[in-house]
Amino acid sequence: MLQLQVVRDKKDDIINALKKRNIDAAPLIDEVLGLDEKRRATQTSLDNTLAESNKLSKEIGMLFKSGKAQEANVLKEKTVTLKEDSKKLGEELNAISENLQSVLYKIPNVPHESVPAGNSDEDNEEIFKEGDIPTLNTDALPHWELAKKYDIIDFELGVKITGAGFPVYKGKGARLQRALISYFLDKNTEAGYTEMQVPHLVNEASGFGTGQLPDKEGQMYHVGEDDLYLIPTAEVPVTNLFRDEIVAESDFPIRYTAYTPCFRREAGSYGAHVRGLNRLHQFDKVEIVRVENPANSYQALDGMVEHVKNILRELKLPYRILRLCGGDLGFTAALTFDFEVFSTAQDRWLEISSVSNFEAYQANRLKLRYKDENGKSQFAHTLNGSSLALPRVLAGILENYQTADGIQIPEVLVPYCGFDRID
């Protein structure tokens, strides 16, 4: 969430910047500042009341020692009133602070100055494109038909077991899925990321820490009896490893990678653009997360973008990179680059990765800090990226590598799969 001091100092700048998200943040900002002023006034009253109570307690002790019990008892009656006042002020302060926190949670991150204005994904800015789009035969099939033809993914069986959006991978389809996970993790660890295995359920504090709550509460699967949430991405548990931590400045850069299944309820829609692997409620993803010194976070973001580029080059998939506009930018992100792979059989681009810098927005929620060169606590910057999300990468491989004799396996994956063709 936004830092209170920054809101106080840069109110107008924040309101103007949030217009890129097509929101009028002025009412929320004014509410924050009003609550903050009330909170500080209440805190002052509480401090004064406690100070007066402490002063009287000392005077009472001295009076008793001096044998002036009657005067001491008069003052004791005043301390009873002061204690009642302090309790009431404390309760009022807690209520104001909780209200202030809840309003701050409603305000999204301020977009980076490079974020273009825009209303939707149609206004995102293409900044890079690479790879040759293959020419397929006229009878080329989309991946959901290829999956059925070669019996490697069963969507209907998933519906039987669970429901729509929960596919079952079979045979070489399952092995290709496992190969991609291992390949992505190996690429990430070779680049200096430490592999982690993390829980697939998180508590409410973790959801608030990275900003999924309350913004995306309706999209998350909730285990009511235990008040736990199935993770929508490994970003949540991995980043929350640092909740309420003070890291050493010498520890930067902190780089972690993790494979997890991901669970997203998401509003359902219909049509070819959500068929097959295009949109799922459960899918596999390998994530990279960084905790950085604020001075280096945008250099780190560039490095993450280059890292994902290199993976897609090795897979030899045609892809492009988009800089998200304000209207399509995630709630917690300051700047996001989306990677899309071209699906030749569907004749459309499929999003397969988002790489984002959250600046101090998540760190403020997490209370993730570091000591600067002067020994002062500062908020770190957090970043994360998909490296990569498997369903649409797998869809791109099936469709772009299909031939009349079967589906070729990208050369870099053959050692992981143990086969070079699905037929």
Q: Which of 335, 356, 327, 350 is nearest to 233 (CA)?
A: 356
Ligand-binding annotation for 231, yes or no, is no
Ligand-binding annotation for 264, yes or no, is yes
Between strands 402-403 and 319-323, the pairing is unpaired
Q: Which of 193, 379, 209 is nearest to 294 (CA)?
A: 379
- Residue 324 to residues 20, 125, 190, 329, 355, Cα–Cα distance (Å): 11, 6, 29, 6, 10
Ligand-binding annotation for 353, yes or no, is yes
Count of C-beta atoms within a 10 Å radius of residue 117: 13
Ligand-binding annotation for 352, yes or no, is yes
Ligand-binding annotation for 387, yes or no, is no
Dihedral sign for Cα 137, 142, 146, 148, please: negative
Q: Which of 59, 66, 10, 58 is nearest to 33 (CA)?
A: 10
- Residue 286 to residues 37, 61, 192, 194, 394, Cα–Cα distance (Å): 44, 65, 15, 12, 13
Ligand-binding annotation for 266, yes or no, is yes
Report the Cα–Cα distance between both ends of the chain, in Å, rounded. 51
CA atoms of 271 and 280, how far apart (whole Å): 14
Q: List the alpha helices (DSSP H) in 199-278.
A: 204-210, 235-239
Buried b (16+ CB within 10 A) or exposed e, 325-342: bbbbbbbbbbbbbbbbbb
Binding site residue list for L-serine: 233, 264, 287, 384
Binding site residue list for ATP: 264-266, 351-354
Binding site residue list: 233, 264-266, 287, 351-354, 384
